Structure 1
Amino acid sequence: MKLTVFGATGGIGQEIVRQGLAAGHQVTAVVRDPARFTVEGERLEVRQADLTAPETLRGAVAGRDAVLSGLGARSRADAGIAARLTRSVLAAMEAEHVRRLLVVSAAPLGPVPDGHTVLDKTMLAIINSVLKDVYDDLRVMEGDLAASATDWTSVRPPKLTNKPVTGRYRSVVGGSPPRGRSLARADVAHAMLAMIDDPATVKQGVGVAY
């Protein structure tokens, strides 16, 4: 398949690119700073683009089978970036009639799963309070996805780690895995690539966790 990856210099984005190339896909990595991008491959194209300008992104998404985005805030100070930049991606995709889009969101945006203990619920409330601005940004992003013409999927992992890919994790369409407390960035990427052709995930939030 022909894939475009936004946020390709981030932890999840770089993993999507690496794993996509390893699976034989043709991958276009869209970056703001090529110096920060270290992945190489025969089927890789690297494009530098202004992510705030949809017109400059059209060439990066035209003719692609799917677009995958690792865009998001890296800290509370970045809150707002996910919705703003994803809006540019949506505009470019809609202009080029490209439909399949997968993005990274977060587990707290999904429903609280059955089996959560009082401690789990308390910790979730604390996390929601501390990262309120970040999660509000993601809620706006998901609202924009729902209003778009794309066949979107919002992948919602819990705490992210830098462990190697395992390919062994749980996923719940429209929900969250019970007691799912962490997931490696590499396995988030693995899940996103696996969902590209899964019709059950279209226009859905999908919880993923170990």
Structure 2
Amino acid sequence: MRLTVFGATGAVGQEIVGQALDAGHEVTAVVRDPDRLPEGPPWADLHAVVRLGDEEAVRAAVAGRDAVLSGLGSRGRKSGDVAERLTGQVLRAMEATEVRRLLVVSAAPVGPEAADEPLPDRLMRKVIGAVLKELYVDLTRMEAALARSAADWTSVRPPKLTNGSRTGVYRTVIGGTPRSGRSISRADVAHAMLALIDDPAAVKQGVGVAY
């Protein structure tokens, strides 16, 4: 497939790029700072690198792609409107080029609580939601922008992210949240995003992912 990855220098974005290249996909990376791109394999196999913010170049990077994947988001607890604003740029480029398939990273607290979630997990969810309120408000607004768009979007909602290895073994709930899902590696989030590209059931849905 021909893929464009936004936020390719981020922790999840790097995993998406690496796994996509290893799988034989053609990958274009869109980044805020090209100097932050890793060196060596598999990065030497990138089809192209485009700077986010150059709207004409971004539209060209999106045009004709089979899917767009985004790891864009805040690098800290204070998000401002990073996810909403940058995802808006992605959506505008996709609309201009009539590209439909989009997968983004969001977060578990943005989705619904599992119906049978144990009390300790519900309480933990509330505490984390309060501590990271600004971040989740931004992601909620991002998802609202997705819902208003014409894109065939999927929002992947992980809980706590770790630096563990890719296992390929995790739970996914389309339109919901895995029960007692407390963590997942960034590598497995990337794996899930790539696996969901061709899943019609995930289109215009949030998908909870967790171990």
User: TM-score, normalized by length of structure 2?
Assistant: 0.95
**Contact kept in structure 2, 1:159 and 1:181, CA below 8 Å:** yes
Matches within 5 A, 1:116-135: 116-135=117-136
Name the amino acid aligned to 1:194.
A
User: TM-score, normalized by length of structure 1?
Assistant: 0.96
Matches within 5 A, 1:162-177: 162-177=163-178
Alignment correspondent of 1:37? 37
Total equivalences in the alignment:
209
Distance in 2 between residues matched to 1:172 and 1:77, nearest whole Å: 28
Q: Secondary structure at the match of 1:194?
A: helix
Alignment correspondent of 2:137? 136
Distance in 2 between residues matched to 1:118 and 1:198, nearest whole Å: 32
Matches within 5 A, 1:154-193: 154-193=155-194
Distance in 2 between residues matched to 1:97 and 1:17, nearest whole Å: 23
RMSD: 1.3
Listed one character per residue, the Cα deviations across residues 40-95 of structure 1 (whole Å, up to 9, x for unaligned) are 446412423233x5444101101100000000112122331000000000000000
**Contact kept in structure 2, 1:57 and 1:92, CA below 8 Å:** yes
Structure 2 segments unaligned to the other structure (5+ residues): none
Q: Secondary structure at the match of 1:177?
A: coil
Q: Secondary structure at the match of 1:76?
A: coil
Deviation at 1:158, TM superposition (A): 0.2
Distance in 2 between residues matched to 1:94 and 1:65, nearest whole Å: 14
Structure 1 segments unaligned to the other structure (5+ residues): none
Deviation at 1:109, TM superposition (A): 1.1
**Contact kept in structure 2, 1:54 and 1:91, CA below 8 Å:** no
**Contact kept in structure 2, 1:21 and 1:27, CA below 8 Å:** yes
Matches within 5 A, 1:39-118: 40-41=41-42, 43-51=45-53, 54-118=55-119
Listed one character per residue, the Cα deviations across residues 1-51 of structure 1 (whole Å, up to 9, x for unaligned) are 000000000010000000001111000011122221115446412423233
In the TM superposition, structure 1's runs of 4+ consecutive aligned residues that sit over 6 Å from their partners are none
Name the amino acid aligned to 1:65.
D
Name the amino acid aligned to 1:92.
A
